[in-house]
Structure 1
Amino acid sequence: MRKVFRNLKSLEEVKDLIMRYERAERREKISIWDAFGRILAEDIVSGVDVPGFDRVMLDGYAVRAEDTFWADEDNPVELKVIGVASAGHPFPGEVGEREAVEVATGAPMPRGANSVVKEEFTVRKGDSILVMRAVAPGENVQGAGSDVRVGETVAYRGTRLSAREIGILAAVGIREVEVLSKPRVGIFSTGDELAQPGEPLEYGKIYDVNSSSLMASVLEDGGEPKFLGILPDDYEAIRDSLKREIEKFDIILISGSTSVGAGDVMYRVLEELGPPGVIVHGIAMHPGKPTVIAEARGKLVIGLPGYPTSCLTVYREIVSPLIRKWSGKPLETGKEVIGRAAERIIGERGRRDLLPVHVVKDEEYLVFPVPTGSEAISTLSRADGYVEMEELEEIIEEGEVVRVKLFTDRIADISMIGSHCIGLELIMSEMRRRGYLIKSVFVGSSGGFKAIARGEADLAGVHAFDPETMEYNLPFMRKFSIEDKAILIRGYRRIQGLIVARGNPKGIKGIRDILERRDIVMMNRNKGSGTRILLDYLLKEEAERMGIDISEAIKNIRGYWNEAKSHNAVAIAIKNGIADVGIGIKTVARLYNLDFIPIAEENYDFLIRRSSMRKGAVEEFLRILREFRSKLNELDGIEASDDIGLPISP
């Protein structure tokens, strides 16, 4: 008895039905050299800092910036050269007043020095140099942990590994990763008329085209295909082969023997394999109408039409999206977007520039240049694509329409630019687990306010303290004129304090030690950071209690002009003996197994652009923020109150 295709399902119905199916997750550990295109099965957290020390960015001389403040060509400053440092060969001593160390690109910064003078701005004079130009603290120095920090998640579960992610994994010392096993796809062809390519072709036979085409298609979609042979148009042979193989694969594809022919073999076999058996018997499309889909033992078996054109059409429309979903490979989309430059993008005349850019999806695509320099491996991982500038081009003006060639098939659902925090990492990890793509760039609180003001970020983590009002964050909304552009959301409180070596060998007790003692070296934070603002306030307050002038006191603080760009960089300096004390948060001190002296609490809140509040990713962020209150409270040094996630009124 023939089974006629009378209850055809629409292509949309079939796609929706198919995409609901999941496969049992399997994992395997492989070398990063074999990991290109594979899907991570775990979050990868860095156990090291990149770089692990303050690193020299160019050839020159490591100096104390304060020794050069008044240097120029008419009045050069003479410094004594006391040694040499190169990549892999640090200088063993300490740079003192009016001293310098000759350094090469990649060398560790010597203790006591906080800047590098370019070689071309100096003149060698025996054992000394003449410095012709002043340098600022931190100039020509890549700060420890400025690229990647210990405890930072550098790759997330579900990420499809490209050359950029593999480079970052190598940079943090990861040799092997756990990835999701590829979806296993069994492939049969059916038909008494078929012969395998390479065999002699008998009269009445044709070569099997579909199996080879399907094998290649599955490979292209990220699956692991296996050809299981050509089956005769025989009910028992097809039934027995399917029963034997179905447990070994995530899905089985069979081409041929699906149309209304003699005996309707495929329909009867698949119906018997259930329950539930056949769930689709015919699709309202051409070509591809005689398609049969069944479920048996929790697995899908899809009978594809025998004609090659029909077979591949159905595969492309309904099977390919499912294999790509299981393999983590995105659906094929356009590799370019047209956007508008949100700010001026500057290239260099005389060369073709491929400038990495960050794309934010608003009412239109807004295109921002990526600020991170070429010394950071994370530059390309944080970029969505690049803008190409011809040899005679130099500037793309703000508002100009630009074509972005994408590195990725998907623009981030949410852009986060601001201050880094372990608590925020916890929330972002959960968002990624729920399927959201996040772009995160950590540039400090001031950078977060600026990014929100420019429209570059949807959300910024901020903890900026205003000494005049004794408030966190709200005064800076007025300072950056974003009261009408953004909403401040209550986050959580963090404990700030002095980070010292394990056992506190210098016996440091508080802020007064920094002002009074000359036997300790501190590591300061960069100007504009919330932590630097807080420290300057505490130093001034303590100086007033001591009855001394803060401007004079600062001159005697060893290391005041040494600036780190993150809490992690402060901890690294203390861990490596570059400094004796620095200010940072308790969670980072614990992360590095350092001692901690609490001195203040701060508010770490979230600034959200008003136009972004309607985004699904932002709504999900706020839901997770409230749901994770108890998990945040489990982190040492963080306290989340009941009003977490609620707007803060001016």
Structure 2
Amino acid sequence: MFLSKLDSLANAIKLVKDNQKFTEVEEVPISEAHKRVLAEDIMAFHDSPPFDKSSMDGYAVIAENTFGASQSAPKKFKIIDAIGAGDFSSKIVNSNEAIIIATGAPIPDGANAVLMKEYTTSDEDDLTIYSQVTPGENISPKSEDIEKGQKVLCKNTFIRYQEMGLIASAGYDTVKVFKKPRVKIIITGNELVEPTKEEIDKAKIINSNQFTTKAMVEDSGAIAEITHAGDTFGEVREAILEASLEFDVIITTGGTAISKGDVVLDALADLGEILFHGVAVRPGKPVGAGIVNGKMIFTLSGQPVASMSQFDMVVRKYLFEMQGRPFEFHLQKRVSELKVPSQLGRTDFIRAVADDECAKHVLNRGSGIIRSMVEANSYIIIDENDEGYQKDDIVDVVFFDSLLW
């Protein structure tokens, strides 16, 4: 089944967005929260730091007592105590007194600055200082980073290593995040065989799509599982039906065009609803999507490069936003080194090599040539309202790295 009128990419994306689903929420130990998305606001349980603390090793002193100290005019102090990180001193610092203090240790009563050890010499309890400090110098004040009760992170924040530290400092040992979607990848095609060093039958093709599709799903923060369904209507229908009862999203590869034996869309139509099939894009025109038992199913091409491009066009955004993380193409402007032809009414995703200034499309661009994706680091995107670009025109570029979870 193939609809004679091709949808625009914008309309296909809108149809997917209109049927966007979200995953449930789960609570995980903070050690497992990296690269997840917050499903709650983070409110600080503690001040951080919880007291005025030293930001370096040195001596806690009254700053005013140090004024005027220099190499030529040193001043004398008396050491009355020493504090390690995690300890408090019961002593009060008075005029011309000092307490040895470690980085992170609480500032003792009476002191209002820390003098770096490098600017001193000592002989038992006698301290000679050769520099001055100002009040508050080398002190991290209480709640400098976080104030108790403060909202420090908002729901839907992507948790990087930086956020891990902030969440922990706020007092959380577990955190609520969106669950990773479980994605079933159904590979169709009787001609496909597993990778092997041995000679393969002339009518067979190594099944590379299973590896690229699984990796793209995982690069979108989701969990992938693969099955092979063959080419019959019954096999494909059964695989889709079974997956729709267990998984959050289904992706098929192959069987989406209008040639004999392409049965994926027939099975989809029999089981549920087709949202679209056939989009005015290059590569990957026969991409489709639908709903079965309330689950989104994306039907991708069997051609490897077309399948990868289709995933980036419509699938990646859906998986990101299932987990509460907004996704949009991060377009950058570059100068085209070559003429890039296109035609009105079609959106082109042209494989390209781009640097900080220029972009050049990969010349060998067949939809089955996997090496072209390896040689590229970006897409030049040509809008459906443009007829291509001339050499030295400004083009829109999306780097592959910007598409990753």
**Aligned ranges for residues 118-133 of structure 1 at < 5 Å?**
118-124=116-122, 127-133=125-131
- 1:331 Cα offset (Å): 5.2
Partner of 1:326: 322
Paired with 2:332 and 2:162, the residues of 1 have a C-alpha distance of: 17
Paired with 1:241 and 1:214, the residues of 2 have a C-alpha distance of: 17
Greater CA drift, 169-178 or 253-262: 169-178
Partner of 2:284: 288
Partner of 2:13: 15
Amino acid at match of 1:205: K
Q: 1:339-369 deviations in whole A, cap 9, x for unaligned?
A: xxxxxxxxxxxxxxxxxxxxxxxxxxxxxxx
Amino acid at match of 1:239: R
Partner of 1:342: none
Q: Alpha carbon RMSD of aligned pairs, Å?
A: 3.1
Distance 1:51 1:235, change over 3 A: same
**Aligned ranges for residues 220-239 of structure 1 at < 5 Å?**
220-227=219-226, 229-239=227-237
* Contact preservation (8 Å) 1:81, 1:127: yes
Paired with 2:85 and 2:315, the residues of 1 have a C-alpha distance of: 53
Pick from 168, 193, 196 the counterpart of residue 195 of structure 1.
193
Paired with 2:287 and 2:333, the residues of 1 have a C-alpha distance of: 35
Amino acid at match of 2:243: E
**Aligned ranges for residues 519-530 of structure 1 at < 5 Å?**
none
Paired with 2:75 and 2:216, the residues of 1 have a C-alpha distance of: 68
* Contact preservation (8 Å) 2:254, 2:262: no
1:217 aligns with 2:216: yes
- 1:121 Cα offset (Å): 4.0
**Aligned ranges for residues 488-499 of structure 1 at < 5 Å?**
none
* Contact preservation (8 Å) 2:23, 2:180: no
Partner of 2:357: none
Paired with 1:238 and 1:90, the residues of 2 have a C-alpha distance of: 70
1:299 aligns with 2:298: no
Amino acid at match of 1:214: T
Pick from 62, 68, 81 the counterpart of residue 79 of structure 2.
81
- 1:174 Cα offset (Å): 3.4
Partner of 1:208: 207
Amino acid at match of 1:147: D
Q: Percent of pairs identical after alignment?
A: 31
Partner of 1:346: none
Paired with 2:208 and 2:186, the residues of 1 have a C-alpha distance of: 12
1:65 aligns with 2:63: yes
* Contact preservation (8 Å) 1:160, 1:329: no
Paired with 2:402 and 2:190, the residues of 1 have a C-alpha distance of: 43
Secondary structure at the counterpart of residue 166 of structure 2: helix
* Contact preservation (8 Å) 2:287, 2:301: yes
Paired with 1:165 and 1:29, the residues of 2 have a C-alpha distance of: 16
Q: 1:621-646 deviations in whole A, cap 9, x for unaligned?
A: xxxxxxxxxxxxxxxxxxxxxxxxxx
Q: 1:485-520 deviations in whole A, cap 9, x for unaligned?
A: xxxxxxxxxxxxxxxxxxxxxxxxxxxxxxxxxxxx
Amino acid at match of 1:222: G
Q: Which has the higher contact order (CA 8 A, sep 6+)?
A: 2
Paired with 1:247 and 1:193, the residues of 2 have a C-alpha distance of: 28
Secondary structure at the counterpart of residue 175 of structure 2: strand
Secondary structure at the counterpart of residue 89 of structure 2: coil
Distance 1:242 1:199, change over 3 A: farther
Unaligned residue ranges in structure 2 (runs of 5+)? 335-400
Secondary structure at the counterpart of residue 291 of structure 2: strand
**Aligned ranges for residues 105-184 of structure 1 at < 5 Å?**
105-124=103-122, 127-184=125-182
- 1:248 Cα offset (Å): 1.9
Q: Give TM-score, length-normalised by structure 1.
A: 0.47
- 1:246 Cα offset (Å): 0.4
Paired with 1:335 and 1:97, the residues of 2 have a C-alpha distance of: 61
Partner of 2:45: 47
* Contact preservation (8 Å) 2:186, 2:239: no
Paired with 2:316 and 2:402, the residues of 1 have a C-alpha distance of: 16
* Contact preservation (8 Å) 1:222, 1:329: no
- 1:8 Cα offset (Å): 1.2
- 1:157 Cα offset (Å): 1.8
Secondary structure at the counterpart of residue 105 of structure 1: coil
Paired with 1:153 and 1:95, the residues of 2 have a C-alpha distance of: 36
Paired with 2:9 and 2:24, the residues of 1 have a C-alpha distance of: 30
**Aligned ranges for residues 438-587 of structure 1 at < 5 Å?**
none
Distance 1:138 1:287, change over 3 A: closer
Amino acid at match of 2:290: A
* Contact preservation (8 Å) 1:80, 1:98: yes
Amino acid at match of 1:150: K
Distance 1:114 1:232, change over 3 A: same
Unaligned residue ranges in structure 1 (runs of 5+)? 338-407, 411-650
Amino acid at match of 1:160: F
Secondary structure at the counterpart of residue 110 of structure 1: coil
Partner of 1:631: none
Equivalent pairs, count: 335
Paired with 1:156 and 1:4, the residues of 2 have a C-alpha distance of: 44
Amino acid at match of 1:192: N
